Amino acid sequence: MTKFNRRKFIKSILKLSILSLIPINLKALSFLQEDCLTTQDIQGPFYIENPPNISILTPPEITSDFLFITGTVYAKDCKTPIPNAVVDIWHANKGVYDETSSTFLNSDYENNYYRGQVFTDSNGNYAFQTIMPGKYLNGSTYRPSHIHYKSSYLNQNEITTQLYFEGDSSIETDPWASDPSANNRIVTTQIDENNNTHAIFNIYLDVNENDINSSSLIEEKNINNIFPNPINSNSIIELNKPNCIIEICDINGKTITKKTVIKKQMKFHEIIKNKLPNGIYILRTKNILNDIIESKRFVINNY
């Protein structure tokens, strides 16, 4: 009897699907998800703590040939999505990482790219835009194209790993990518009519599904509302609970101002003392009591 190949079967489903550029919910394929926990891989020397909360990792001069990665973070039962999970990503561009210093700070991100941090939504989904990572020599052979991941839930059960791409000729000679434990981290890609590449990478954390209180997390969101939005001189930021650290960031995730707020409602100008140029910004909050992090975009127009 021929041995059932779970990974090959899933890849066939993805290739045959008319919706192949849209993430497929593998929850429906639960009979295939035994032993689903994401396996570890080396962190490498280029990880930097506290990357910016951004989902677009490319500089503005890159306007085509994007790589879009989407996926869902699940608990160890292989089917329960995890909201508000952290997903850190970083990778090389043309074989070079943007910065090797461990003292690299958020304020220095203006001219550095290809790394960031995203959070899963209420259904456990995440997404980011970048480009295909470049290769670089490791001794006498090239490392395959790869993206580094560091994911966790409420600062626990962290997994550090790497994603690889099917068909990469350097996988066979790479000691990490060729390890059998990496099989489920080699993703299938699809190219759309605009020459953008799409891939799906789901993450399975060693988190008990009973420890995830999805409804509670949604109800305890930090930001109730920003109104009116676009922002004007009378706009109000309304929080669900007091005691939040509030950051106003530009669209690239660079912090403009940061303040600890102890009340539930405040005028926007109480956070920003000086006027900002018109544009799109990010309001990022962290609740001091429960560590829930939430981001919301807003627009300034003739503020």
All residues at 6 or more sequence positions from 225 whose CB lies less than 8 Å from its CB, including other chains: 236, 237, 238
Query: pLDDT digits over 128-179, tens only?
Result: 989 999 999 988 999 999 999 999 998 889 999 999 999 999 999 999 999 9
All residues at 6 or more sequence positions from 283 whose CB lies less than 8 Å from its CB, including other chains: 223, 226, 237, 246, 247, 248, 249, 295, 296, 297, 298
Task: Answer for the pair 214, 83: CB distance below 8 angstroms, yes or no.
Answer: yes
Grouping H, G, I as helix, E, B as strand and the rest as coil, residue 54 is coil
The arithmetic mean of pLDDT across residues 257-285, rounded, is 84
- What pLDDT score was predicted for residue 41? 96
Q: What domains lie within the chain, and their CATH numbers?
A: 6-211 (2.60.130.10), 220-300 (2.60.40.3080)
Residue type, 2: T
pTM value is 0.62
The Cα–Cα gap between 74 and 85 comes to 9
- What pLDDT score was predicted for residue 1? 36
- What pLDDT score was predicted for residue 73? 94
Angle at 253 between CA 250 and CA 254, to 5 degrees: 70
Q: Taking the CB of residue 235, how many other CB atoms lie within 10 A of it?
A: 17
Query: pLDDT digits over 78-115, tens only?
Result: 989 998 899 999 999 876 787 543 333 333 444 458 99
- What pLDDT score was predicted for residue 214? 55
